[in-house]
Structure 1
Amino acid sequence: MPDDDLTGPATGTEYEDWLEAELKDELDEDYEIELEDAVLSMKIREIYRKAHGPSIPRPEYFRSLLHLQAELIRLQDWVIHSREKIVVIFEGRDSAGKGGVIKRLTQRLNPRVVRTVALPAPSDREKTQWYFQRYVPHLPAGGEIVLFDRSWYNRAGVERVMGFADEDQVQDFFNDVPEFERMLVRSGIRVVKYWFSVTDEEQQMRFLMRIHDPLKQWKLSPMDLQSRVKWEDYTKAKEEMLARTNIPEAPWYIVPANDKKRARLNCIDHLLSLMPYEDVEQEEVTLPDRVYNGDYERAVLPPELYVPSKY
């Protein structure tokens, strides 16, 4: 906990003061992330706001987010200390907001402990392997959390709908995946699965925003555009996937995601609620005295080595 005078534990007031200072100090970074939603044509932005209505006020959102991120640090400490292994799967339609949640979830955590896996389409070699084989090397060791930004459930979704897997392969997947996940759980891995749910109209609006925003156009692939055409096929595939792979050892949790800010807060809060983490005793950290050498002279470096100060 923060300590203003560096002599003892912080009081409630000191903690609140620290929280305010931290909030102000970190707002620049968060605003920079949030600006991705602001670089839009005014017309599209206005239509989007009218369709949504008011969301969580920005100060309230950032305050809640910072509180949850502080809890995520406690979770991280517990995972390291107890050598826990956690897998979190993020699935949902294109533009449903999976990446936004992952970004806020990992923002203040150690990337050596919490890492994101977003695999590309399988190579020709991988297509000949056991289907789950390319995912296995990315599973966590003790003291790690792995976030799958899409996962082996590609077979039940995009691969099935777009014809990259035939029905025999899909049925084999449905038969295999419950046992595969039970094996993970038996090995000591906690498996959490989230499906981010958006409406037809919401996805259309988000696709339009990407089309009209040059900073977001890279997010649109030909496959994304085809997902609009095949909306109903994706719906049927999702419903069967949830019905056949929702097992007690690794259940699905649906995140209503039309409101991005609420989806982020609700998902992070729910993930924390699933973990029996607790405070881990930490060694007191003290800054050692700097060693001074009277004979040392700092070398003068040539100016061309420095990055130009344009800003």
Structure 2
Amino acid sequence: MAYKERNLAGYLFISPWLLGFLLLTLWPIAQSFYLSFTDYSMLADPVWTGMDNYRKIFSGDDVFQKSLTVTFTFVLVSVPLKLFFSLMVAMLLAKNLRGMNFYRTMIYFPSLIGGSIAVSVLWRNMFGADGYINGILAWFGIEGTGWISNPDTSLGTLILLGTWQFGSTMVIFLAGLKQIPQELYEASAVDGAGRIRKFFHITLPMLSPVMFFNLVLGIINSFQMFTAAFIITKGGPVQSTYMYAMFLYEKAFKHFQMGYASALAWILLVIVAALTALNFLASRYWVFYETEGGRDR
């Protein structure tokens, strides 16, 4: 009896989270999956249409293909750049110098507001035709361009913003660098290893689990890119920055095609899940786990 009472007490303690998960997470997911097979506009009851939404998406929706291409380009460029710069900055901040805590705080601070609307508006003012960037270039006699109104450079401004928001990734790298045993560097120095050799043979292998974690999170977050594209470029010009999340949003809340938008959301889920699974499979060949004495094969 006492065992059952202890279980009941445990269930009572977790009941607020459990109810929240069932009502606010699991039920909406199930509803979204059902709606993806219907024609639903929120103004009438959903009508079951089977696979029609998916057939329309894959067979005749050019905007779907365009948004997916733009999003994949953004992910393939911004994620590696973000990983590279965050690692380089983390290595600089890992040094034990006077006032380093202040520098760490100042470098991390922009990430606290990096995804906000205010920063997106600032970015738009910086890279507009009459923005701050062109004003600085004018001092040197260089004629700037409308960075966000030019299809050749508009996506680059969003990639630059995504790369600039490296604070959280940098902090995780910094924590990983602090966990690398200094004895490894001391032993390699005795063997005559230089900085480059230490970096490729000690730092990167020991940091590979952290890098893998940041890579997976970076891919997932980049596929959800919405705020900056919506505020800065509104998907233009000529859909050069029309992210997948914007396409989904407009189908749902501008055209009220909730069934179609639900299908788009599930396609995005499958894409992200597939890429995550591929990363886990590939990690067996490049992620080093010290406790296992080698690569996890």
* TM-score interval (norm. to shorter): under 0.3
Q: TM-score, normalised by structure 2?
A: 0.27
- Greater percentage in strand: 1
- Greater percentage in helix: 2
